[in-house]
Structure 1
């Protein structure tokens, strides 16, 4: 007779299993028709998945140009500086310009597909440390299962795009998880970072509103400030100072998404000296002002 090894788990085996946990947090999911999609040098602290039902969309990452096709989805990791374009109606070479509306069941989709760019997008976060992978755009071929999920999501978004039921949430999360599982293993290097760096990383997340110094953070892992700064840069491919600034702006974007808090209130809450300092850092990282981000006019 075998006895249950861990009563609380109901697990009869004595062999320990190690799982990787992440916290998927959905930020938005929309299905739009666009007549303008000129967005340049966008840098935001969340993941994106894009899919266009028809031809004409284009993504640019430095010198790489991705001509979007309906047989692929495009996954963009956080803090990637990229640009978008709708080739049939291109007007701007800088700034962020989007014009369109959500598709509903009242629209004749075939008609709109002949005149507009039919665009699905979702934004989300995965939590520590998965929101700090290397920047990039990843082209993923639509499997039959992904296509089935995508068809369900886009049809439901034409009926309801605000208060989603449990089934929609589960299928959206399933779609996102399967999509990102198709990204190459090299992307996930950050899950194997040094334990000292990960420990400080988690401390920063838990104390993001504080003014954090290199010496204070290095002391947490019993290292000299310069030595820890070098270790952090080697492991994360970013300086400790820039990482903290990025995480503060990421938190600011999250607060903007889910509250009506003022720019002054957020700048104080995140440890900036004043609104002007916060606004300067926010724009240097995202490319737009916090006021424009708060308005939502940049979306897509």
Structure 2
């Protein structure tokens, strides 16, 4: 047997194809019974997908109120400011207040339909540049395919909530990707941004643990700092400084989700001078302190 290396990647056609590299990263996926969901002015550096099996949940973005219903899923892009309520138990008008429990196979969902919100959610990232799309709340009608996937995912989550098998992971990723195909093209303007901006974004992702200055970033593309700052703002609808801060906080959330590192360790690993500076930036971006986020007492 002769091993063939490269050989034009085995493609017999001379017609070159260009694919978009989507780096889907799963952060968490849970199925809960919520009896309190009073969360106000939350902002997170990752995508959130919500589905409620029963009615009673609300999402609020700016002046728009979404009455959540079982026939739709709701997708919230990173850095969208939003609030949530469970109308049957709405107590607080500020802060983050959540209580509930994991829904397992020992529960009969019908017994909790009137007193709890039966709540499925996923947190995920898509990678650069797709984690920097325009904010908002996207309401997507459930297709038969999405509904079948939801039934499978929620039933599996009632049985296993920690160590997921390959089949579950593949079906969860397929569910997310299928849901994303229902988003309009206006959301995906990031794929057409200026190559100079993309180069700086990619550099920042690789060197996010360092202190990154406007001068250093602009020199990568041979532009004056002020000129590049204007270009970046025009292309990304955010200043370069705020973008770098957002990406650092996004990385810190990832570390809190997947490691046991302390707040101090995470702060220093991302180039912050001390925990207090990091905490101020973290709260300005997410609306939560690092300690509250690390505790996981939110959805």
TM norm structure 2: 0.97
- Deviation, structure 1 residue 181: 1.1
Matched, 1:175 2:175: yes
Aligned to 1:130: 130
Offset of residue 10 of structure 1: 1.9
* Structure 2 counterparts to residues 147-158 of structure 1, below 5 A: 147-158=147-158
Match of 1:211 in 2: 211
Query: Counterpart in 1 of 2:97?
Result: 97
**1:108 positional shift:** 1.0
2:164 alignment partner in structure 1: 164
Matched, 1:53 2:53: yes
> Aligned partners of 1:166, 1:244: CA distance in 2, in Å?
34
Residues 10-69 of structure 1: CA distance to partner in whole angstroms, max 9, x if unpaired? 211111111101111000001111100111111010001100001100000010000000
CA distance in 1, matches of 2:217, 2:159: 49
Residue 132 of structure 1 deviates from its aligned partner by 0.6
1:198-223 superposed Cα distances (whole Å, 9 cap, x missing partner): 00000001101111111111000000
Unaligned runs of 5+ in 1: 1-5
1:260-287, Cα deviation, whole Å (9 max, x unpaired): 1111111111111111111111111111
TM-score of the pair, normalised by structure 1: 0.97
Question: What CA deviation, in whole Å up to 9, does each residue of 1:217-260 have, x standing for no partner?
Answer: 10000000000000000000000111111111111111111111
The residue aligned with 2:146 is 146
Distance 2:22 2:88 in 1: 39
* 5+ long unaligned stretches in structure 2: 1-5
**2:267 equivalent in structure 1:** 267
- Work out the CA distance in 2 between the residues paired with 1:66 and 1:57: 8
Aligned length in residues: 294
Aligned Cα RMSD in Å?
0.8
Q: Distance in 2 between matches of 1:218 and 1:287?
A: 30
- Can you list the C-alpha shifts for 1:146-172, whole angstroms capped at 9, x where unaligned? 000000000111111111111111100
State how far apart, in whole Å, the 1-side matches of 2:169 and 2:113 are.
26
Per-residue CA deviations over 1:73-118 (Å, capped at 9, x if unaligned) read: 0000001000000000000011111110111111111111122110
**1:8 CA drift (Å):** 4.3
Q: Residues of 1 paired with 2:70 and 2:60: CA distance?
A: 17
- Cα distance, 1:9 vs structure 2: 2.2
Residue 188 of structure 1 corresponds to which residue in structure 2?
188
Question: Does 2:18 correspond to 1:36?
Answer: no
Classify the secondary structure of the residue corresponding to 2:12. Answer: coil
Aligned equivalents of 1:128, 1:282: Cα separation in 2: 20
Distance of 2:92 and 2:63 partners within structure 1: 18
Shift in Å, 1:297? 1.1
Partner of 2:13: 13
